[in-house]
Amino acid sequence: MKKKEKITKKAVPSGVKVVRTPQLLRGMKDLLPRDEFVWRQMRAVAQHIAVAYGFMEIETPIVEEASLFIRSIGRGTDVVEKEMYVFEDRDGTKVALRPEATAGIVRAYISHGMQNMPQPVKLWTLGAMFRHDRPQAGRYRQFHQFDCEAIGERDPIVDAELMVVAYNFLRDLGIDVRLDVNSMGSTEDRARYVEELLAYLRTKRSYLCEDCKKRLGRNPLRVLDCKQEQCAPVIEEAPQIIDWLSDASKNYFMKVLEYLDEVGIPYMLRATLVRGLDYYTDTVFELYAEEAPQAHSGEESGQDGAQTALGGGGRYDLLFEQLGGHPTPACGFAIGLERVASHLRSIAAENTASRPLDRPRVFVAQLGEQARRRALHIIEDLRRAGIVVRHHLGKPSLKAQLELANKYGTTHAFIIGQKEVQDGTIIVRDMESGIQETIDQKKVRVEVEKIMKG
Ligand code: HAM
């Protein structure tokens, strides 16, 4: 300790003020250029799949009235009680950073009179959410969701289609998925079930963990979701919600499952699946990766070892009335993109060939002032044709530019110098073999396209 102080004093001349660099907040994450290919891939697949299934894009504000989330997600939930970023705005309004996308989309649907549009109104969004969660692998305080909502229709085919969209999004990204489903029935079914569950859990109180003992008073359903080993035997023996569904709820759920069978999407019935937000009725579902991702440097490992869901959702037919809208049935899901990214990095590490092919493969290098000017035109012509190439026009040394071309992993360098400017030619260098050929500058575009096709 003493030694360290001595070194610090020596390193900083007297009279010089040490300026501390502000640190990244706990649970927050920078998305760095090295993560870019994965995020670009996720965004592209999200947009493609949402459009293919007829969803329209919507963007709601990150900051909303806190009451929007308190009334939607529920007072007794962890998200509202422990995790929501709530603060008083300068005008005294109690506001919150959105912890999820559904409530904001429902507010937007009501406030923009979307009930007058052809139903269902299918909306999708992708953006940052905030939860003051306990930071560990897969849990961040700022994270991103890909969210889809189908609003205005109560039909089992809508629920099934949303599961298909969520499932296919992950499959299209190359992730093997497991779909878990359950039904929470109507409010009445759930109330009868909660009574039964509570009576059972009270008889087992002494076997439950401290958190679950507290849950008995506030939200007994959450006990079913507890990951503590000591609670597992109690949960296993607990009454199952499926046995408490009315015939109507049961029939609805059966139809959802039939449609899933029809499209050949495998699923698992999970009786303990209840979800962490209060607004659900009937169908609920969660998606898990078949294989856990490998841990990456800089990620803390999960403390309870339990597998975390990549996404989840369900039907929420009563939420609109709770928020002062007309009764409107709806169903949706959200997928956590940090968790998906973690899987994609594992896949990419195993198989480098799975990297997208749209990474620039060509580097344009120049030597001399005239060549630099000519290179500017070449790069601009290619960009107009929709072709992205790497370059570093600020570097005068050809050696330094070729080193960069190697670092970027480009396969070919197009080199232009004084002589080539005069001849109207350009040198094409294969970065691996070092073999070079000279081509006409007019052929640059065709040549680059050939290289990109690989
Ligand atoms: P959720 O299950 O709370 O549902 O969140 C969906 C997904 O967001 C999770 O499965 C997870 O991948 C990701 N996620 C949640 N919290 C975190 C966190 N702290 N760090 C990283 N990722 C996280 C909802 O949000 C509902 N709005 C889904 C929905 C849409 N239901 C109907 N429509």
pLDDT one-digit tens code per residue, 231-241: 999 999 999 99
Q: Is 309 in the pocket of ligand 1 (CB under 6 A)?
A: yes
Q: With a cut of 70, say whether residue 301 has pLDDT above it.
A: no
pLDDT number for residue 285: 98
How far is C-alpha 19 from the geometric centre of its chain's CA atoms? 35
Q: Which of 58, 109, 143 to mutate to test the pocket of ligand 1 (most atoms within 8 A of CB)?
A: 143
Q: Is 169 in the pocket of ligand 1 (CB under 6 A)?
A: no
8-12, 224-228, 246-250, 321-325, range with the lowest pLDDT: 8-12
Q: How does pLDDT run across 317-359, given as a tens digit for each residue?
A: 999 999 999 999 999 999 999 999 999 988 777 665 444 445 7
User: What's the whole-model pTM score?
Assistant: 0.86
Q: Is 135 in the pocket of ligand 1 (CB under 6 A)?
A: no
Q: With a cut of 70, say whether residue 371 has pLDDT above it.
A: yes
Q: Is 276 in the pocket of ligand 1 (CB under 6 A)?
A: yes
**Taking a C-beta distance cutoff of 8 angstroms, is the pair 400, 367 a contact?**
no
Residue matched to tokens 């039907």: 315
298 burial (CB, 10 Å; 0-12 / 13-18 / 19+) is exposed
H or E segment and range at residue 186? none
Omega before 156 cis (within 30°)? no
With a CB cutoff of 8 Å and minimum separation 6, the contacts of 340 are: 42, 170, 173, 175, 310
Q: With a cut of 70, say whether residue 268 has pLDDT above it.
A: yes
Q: What is the DSSP string of 64-124?
A: EEHHHHHHHH-TTSHIIIII--EEE-TTS-EEEE-S-SHHHHHHHHHHTTGGGSSSSEEEE
Strand partners, 366: 416
Q: Which of 55, 130, 136, 145 to mutate to test the pocket of ligand 1 (most atoms within 8 A of CB)?
A: 145
SS3 helix, strand, coil % of the chain, rounded to 5?
45, 20, 35
Q: How does pLDDT run across 36-78, given as a tens digit for each residue?
A: 889 999 999 999 999 999 999 999 999 999 999 999 999 878 8
Take atom 13 of ligand 1 and give the residue whose Cα is closest. 336
pLDDT number for residue 353: 47
DSSP state of 62: S
Return the exposure string of 31-60: e unless at least 16 CB atoms fall within 10 Å of the residue's CB, then b: eeeeeebbbebbeebbeebbeebebeebeb
210-218 helix and 187-203 helix, angle to the nearest 10 degrees: 140
Take atom 31 of ligand 1 and give the residue whose Cα is closest. 313
> Ligand 1 center to residue 286 CA distance, Å?
10
357 burial (CB, 10 Å; 0-12 / 13-18 / 19+) is exposed
CA dist 386 to 36, 108, 382, 424, 428, Å? 19, 36, 6, 23, 20
Residue 146 pLDDT grade (very low, low, confident, very high; cuts 50, 70, 90): very high
pLDDT number for residue 165: 97
Distance CA 390, CA 383 (A): 11
Nearest-atom number in ligand 1 for the CA of 100 is 25
DSSP state of 279: T
Reduce the secondary structure of 281-316 to three states and give it as a string: CCEEEEEEECCCCCCCCCCCCCCCCCCCCCEEEEEC
H or E segment and range at residue 178? strand 177-183
Nearest-atom number in ligand 1 for the CA of 138 is 21
Q: With a cut of 60, say whether residue 164 has pLDDT above it.
A: yes
pLDDT number for residue 345: 86
Which phi and psi angles does 298 have, rounded to 5°? 90, -5
> Ligand 1 center to residue 324 CA distance, Å?
24
Distance CA 155, CA 252 (A): 8
Q: With a cut of 50, say whether residue 295 has pLDDT above it.
A: yes
Q: What is the mean pLDDT of the chain?
A: 90
pLDDT number for residue 10: 57
**Taking a C-beta distance cutoff of 8 angstroms, is the pair 96, 328 a contact?**
no
With a CB cutoff of 8 Å and minimum separation 6, the contacts of 426 are: 378, 414, 415, 416, 420, 438, 439, 440, 441, 444
Residue 294 pLDDT grade (very low, low, confident, very high; cuts 50, 70, 90): low
H or E segment and range at residue 433? none
Q: What is the DSSP string of 363-424?
A: EEEE-SHHHHHHHHHHHHHHHHTT---EE-TT---HHHHHHHHHHTT-SEEEEE-HHHHHHT
Take atom 15 of ligand 1 and give the residue whose Cα is closest. 336
Take atom 8 of ligand 1 and give the residue whose Cα is closest. 336
Take atom 23 of ligand 1 and give the residue whose Cα is closest. 336
Distance CA 274, CA 259 (A): 21
Q: Which of 225, 339, 340 to mutate to test the pocket of ligand 1 (most atoms within 8 A of CB)?
A: 339
Q: Is 139 in the pocket of ligand 1 (CB under 6 A)?
A: yes
**Residues of the chain above pLDDT 90, percent:** 77
Q: Which of 13-22, 74-83, 355-364, 430-439 has the largest mean confidence?
A: 430-439
> Ligand 1 center to residue 196 CA distance, Å?
28
8-17, 135-144, 183-192, 268-277, range with the lowest pLDDT: 8-17
Number of residues in the chain:
454
Q: With a cut of 90, say whether residue 183 has pLDDT above it.
A: yes
pLDDT number for residue 168: 96
Q: Is 333 in the pocket of ligand 1 (CB under 6 A)?
A: yes
**Residues of the chain above pLDDT 70, percent:** 92
Strands 311-315 and 283-289: antiparallel
Q: With a cut of 80, say whether residue 296 has pLDDT above it.
A: no
DSSP state of 431: T
The stretch 197-209 carries a mean pLDDT of 94
Residue of 297, 300, 277, 273 lying closest to 285 (CA atoms): 273
Take atom 22 of ligand 1 and give the residue whose Cα is closest. 336
Take atom 18 of ligand 1 and give the residue whose Cα is closest. 139
Structure tokens at 387: 């072709």
Which phi and psi angles does 6 have, rounded to 5°? -60, -45
What are the CB-based long-range contacts (under 8 Å, 24+) for 387-392? 387/445, 387/448, 387/449, 387/452, 388/358, 388/360, 389/360, 389/362, 389/363, 389/364, 389/414, 389/448, 390/360, 390/362, 390/363, 390/364, 391/363, 391/364, 391/365, 391/366
Q: Three-class SS of residue 427? A: strand
Take atom 17 of ligand 1 and give the residue whose Cα is closest. 139
pLDDT number for residue 305: 45
Take atom 2 of ligand 1 and give the residue whose Cα is closest. 312
pLDDT number for residue 212: 92
The stretch 160-189 carries a mean pLDDT of 96
> Ligand 1 center to residue 242 CA distance, Å?
24
Which phi and psi angles does 314 have, rounded to 5°? 160, -175
